[in-house]
Structure 1
Amino acid sequence: MDRVNYQDSCALKRGIQGLGRSCKWPDRAMVGLSAHYRPFCLQLLVLFCLLHPGAPDQPHPTSNNPGEEALSIQGVRGSSVELDCRPGPVPVAVLWSFTPLGSLVLRPVAVTDGASSRVESGAKALGVVSLRNSSLVIEQLREDARGHFLCQTLLVSDGQVHTTYLYLTLAVLVPVSKPRVHLSDPSPIEGVSVVVTCAVREGTEPLTFSWRHHTPQRPEEVLVGLSEPRLLLDPVNRTHLGWYRCSVSNAINQLSSDGAFLDVIYGPDKPVITVEPLGFTEDGFWASEREEVTLSCLAASNPPSHYVWFREDSQVHVGPTYIIARASRTHTGLYTCLAHNSHLDTHTQATVQLTIYYPPKGKPSCAVLPTPGVVTLLCTWSGGFPKAQLHWEGPQGIGPTAPSNVTWSYTATGLPNGSIFTCLGQHPTLAMPILCRVTLWEPPRSPTCGTTATVGDQFVMLSCEWPGGEPPAMLSWLDRHQQSLGDPSSSPAVYLLQAQSDLAGREFTCQGSHPLRAPGSHCRLRLEAPQLAVAEPRVSVLEGEEAWLGCVLRQGTPPAQLLWLGPQQQPLEQSAYGFMLHPEGTHLRLQVRDADPAHHRGTYQCVARNAVGNSSQSVLLEVLRYPAPPNVTISRLTYRRQRREVQLQWAIYGPGNLTGFLVQQRASVPSSEARAWEVAASDIEPESRDRRLGGLDPGVLYAFRILAMNHHTAGHPSEVKTPVDPAFSAYPAVLGAAGTGMVVALAVSLLVFQYAARHPHTFPCEWRNERMGCLTP
């Protein structure tokens, strides 16, 4: 940055004083100014001398004198601060200067005359500098902005030139940087001394410190009373293990460090062995066979102990927990847990005795066998040592007893429904006997018969169900001669028949038997071809309306398939040519939407099929047309809007109803082949008699015709006409000429005004005063 020496300042001052004693400039305001500021300041002073030539010589007031204490302002590094010259009359010019701490050199920062402003390039060392009126705004404040600021203003008050000065001292505060925790020994052995230090890189003092400590087992706790940047742990023990964090704050902010982990090394202590499930003996622990047995070993240590399990003299597992997923007699023996601290290379161990008892596997199993007139009860529970003892108990007393397997044949005569028989199993290892029960009950209601077609209706499957009951009921299929079809079986009983036409009318019986029900029960079914009925054999609708054809299955062996065939004897599918099928149980309704004589008129058939036959019923659908509407004639057809639109008018004559009109158009080109008609407008209300049609090509000659519509029935087309031009009108031409004159006049005025602005000496000042704000000296 350029600076001016004192001699240059004095020379500049003497030159300014030659303009008049009222135009004084203080020496200190020019010292340190860069070269490009000198003509700017001289120009400002000359301007005010010319405006006020008779101003008396008066002192220059200041906001504070150099001997007075400067105003103190604080800012935070990286934020923004605004230095204000104090409120008062709007100054003509403002000059900001800066003197760093420890320096006597005044450096210009920014200057403004109200209309324009300039910021010195060297002001970037202070931050992002800008001027807001007479205030100096520094954003992204930097530490180099510490120092003294001088605001010099030039203003006019009561017709006199005044200069003011304001001294400000800016202190830049630095936020606390993120602290870091340092451990003198991150992994000390229990009993030594450890120093924990909280270090912060920067931050304006005074600084306040606080500490936090937490372990994986305990929530975070505040160390009350420790406000120093250094902690002394002497001696360190296992309770000191965990994360240490420090927080540092000053007047600006507060930040906390990341956690530093203090890993205290100790152990292992003597292991403690536990066994689950817990059972004690004089020598140690016991567990039952088939159970999951868990041996756990725990020895306090850091780093955590490495565990090795031994059974007798053989290693069986590595880790703190040894799980015997399914204990057996072979797992009986001595178990030793060895704990090892790999960091300190120390060992400890403990030994326990484990004995396995084992009952029979699982629990007793009860079953009942269906035998005619007799209920045979079977209970088994094999294995174990010693073998389990089993015995039956019934409604009328105790049954036989035997080890592992016991059978009891009980006469079912007079046995009530819901009778309960219990088998009890006892073993020395069990505190309570283990039992199983059998409840005898007859199946509810009676057997149910049904049929199902399988493999594309190639077979008919006879099925019979009689669920429930203990023991299950036995079912047999009989033909019409009461001959058995296959062997008896429990529910469900199934028999397959080859599908053929002679099955229609044949009857089959399902016979069921149960020990608690005498006599048994049965159900019958009869195979029949399907029978159909239609809602109406003849249906008539008008063209475009909706028709419904109904069909219902009266009887027949299920499952049966219903379908509709069209007039061409083809199966009708959903949504094809306006057809919709509505199945509702045994009903199948056919919906014909927007009936069209060309596609929908004819004879339809409803067909029913099952595995033993089929049947059909016919329905005649008539689609009638609406009566013809009256005839139409075009009364007027004229162009509009430069042949891009036409206005069409028409009239009707003759009898008949109508629901609307349809306008058609085509290019009228002389040719041996006429082009196809296109729809120009549709859905025209029946009351309408005219329509405006747009979107035309001016270079194409069009032909139009109109038809009356009665729903879907179109009347005879009108005569074909081409549009003609409307009568001449002078009104658009007059409007066009007036608009063109206004545009020319406006263009000439703009050119004269632009020339006067660029050549001010050519036009009189009075003219320029009125239009351009010319000043008279």
Structure 2
Amino acid sequence: MVDLSAHHRPFCCQLLILFCLLHPAASDQPHSISNTPGEEALSIQGVRGSSVELDCQPGPTPVAVLWSFTPLGSLVLQPVAVANGASSRVESGASTLGIVSLRNSSLVIEELREGARGHFLCQTLLVSSGQVHAIYLYLTLSVLVPVSKPRVHLSDPSPTEGVSVLATCAVREGTGPLTFSWHHHTPQGPEEVLVGLSGPRLQLDPVNRTHLGWYKCRASNAVNQLSSDGVFLDVIYGPDKPVITVEPLGFTEDGFWASEREEVTLSCLAASNPPSHYVWFHDDSQIHLGPTYIIASASRAHTGPYTCLAHNSHLDTRTQTTVQLIVYYPPKGQPSCVMLPTFGVVTLLCTWPGGFPNAQLHWEGPQGIGPTAPSNVTWSYTATGLPNGSIFTCMGQHPTLVVPTLCRLTLWEPPRSPTCGTTATVGDQFIMLSCEWPGGEPPAMLNWLDQHQQSLGDPSSSPAVSLLQAQSDLAGREFTCQGSHPLKAPGSHCRLRLEAPHLTVAEPRVSVLEGEEAWLGCALQQGTPPAQLLWLGPQQQRLEQSTYGFTLHPEGAQLRLQVRDADPAHHRGTYQCVARNALGNSSQSVMLEVLSEWEGWYPAPPNVTISRLTYRRQRREVQLQWAIYGPGNLTGFLVQQRASVPSSEAGAWEVAASNIEPESRDWRLGGLDPGVLYAFRILAMNHHTAGHPSEVKTPVDPAFSAYPAVLGATSTGMVVALVASLLVFQYAARHPHTFPCTETAITTSSSDPVQEFPDAPVNVTITVTATPEVQ
């Protein structure tokens, strides 16, 4: 039964009045009741701060709904909300539950509060088949509180290794039961879960350096789980005994080694918290502060003991370690290999002295590995049956070298055969026989034999030299150079015969024109070298490179003489080419004829006529064109000019252009004065012979051109007027019978013949005053 006390009467009255108004015929009908207060109520869980919906169970739409609430530990039924289908009302006291609203017949509580824990009663009135039914539904609501963020507390945040440390995880609120887990995160490693620890307390007894790091506690309940912030446990320890490493790494029986001139890094590490302070000592002398000592370029003076001292300033503890460093250095250069020739046996010698420690040397050949020894090693190898090109390698190994250093010798016979040659000493007192047979390993042995096959000295390697006293009776004698090599049987040889020089000339008689150059040539045909070639002039004087007018051109066994600007008075005559060697000399004569111009040479060149002579560039340049006629050779052209107008007398002829190519028929002359009227003529040249001068002509303006002064006028009308006046004057000059009052002045050269053409231009002087334009 429901207790309808005075506090609840307003709700009940509202429900009954509402029921009677809606269904007057059913006021006497019985009603039914759902579960009673004695029956087990429905249990619902909600989370504080979230929302929960209490449902009166689905069914027909009720006429009225009444929700009431009884807190835990209380028997007072408190109204919460009522609805009659058309309107609803929430009691103001329901705010202790949260934000309450009705959705149909369901009670919705948002932002659920802990005060909502208790029993809820849902009363509904239903009309079914003309009868009124009252349904009661009891609900029990449990409000769960999320767990709050845990907080970790350490009994000693900086303990010394070996003591006990307690870590506690505290949670301010949260609906139980609560579970805990512990997490450890080292500075260098990932986070790990401490398995088996599920309580709020973590005991580290004894604590050690592996416990150093951040600790987190994670608390959870049925609603949520949260982790605490990390708390750092700083375990104080050390320093341990330092460990010294050397880079680059090289071990010896006594310690470490390094190569000379390379960078060496000595690193010291002693486990310690706080980190250790390091001091380096070398031969009991302090050399560095810090964990790393760098030797930029190792030398032999850096050899010795190195001590690293580690100090923990917090605990005031010290440890140290000493290592030995030895600086190695290789021998200078690289191994030296020599192959010595002996009878049937090849002796291989490899040396590489110096260095520390000594380099190890060993030979490798085509049939296996030879002996090994420090610094130098010798290997005698039988050459019989060895193929040409057999390779022997001496390998030099040293700890400071990444790869072995080696030298190689190839056993091979010298190519081709010996070559013989001769030369003479200063003053031709001795003749030196030279024999060369280059190549081959070992070098071939050479021996000089005379014409009776008698040795001229001891055998030697290439080159082999034998000296003979120069005398004429050596001419015609034959000498042999005999060569031998372990891989070549039988040996090879070369022969030479001593001969006096013999030469020939290119032409016994040479003729040139005066002023040209002459070439005299001679060549050594045979003779024991070295042979000296020289030229003697017509007065038997020796011609040198410094002799004026002469140039010597040595070309192998030839000596050519160049005579420049041949002059009959100085260069005509007989020249001698002389060849000399230690066994004698010989000579040949050459006659040089120099033909002069006065002897009928250099005939006159052809005649020249000027075909066109026009002004350019405001009368500062002229363009000259010409043609030649008549027989004769030519080597160029010469242009002459002189001023003829307005000066009263014609000036002297001056050279305006010379050295014009004989193929040219056109030339441009510049640098003229526009106020001067020039006359020009041209001559053809055949070397020093000049032809007849051409006719004398003065330049004319090109067709349809105006004088520069006229072109500079500022008025177009003035220009037109001046051009018209000019045309009139020109016409009057050419037709005096039409304009008898017009005078013309035609100036020609009186000193040279001039050939005038019918259409020769008329020179007209016009004085024009014009104001130039301002640019």
Q: TM-score range with shorter-chain normalisation?
A: 0.3 to 0.5
Between structure 1 and structure 2, the one with the greater Rg is 2
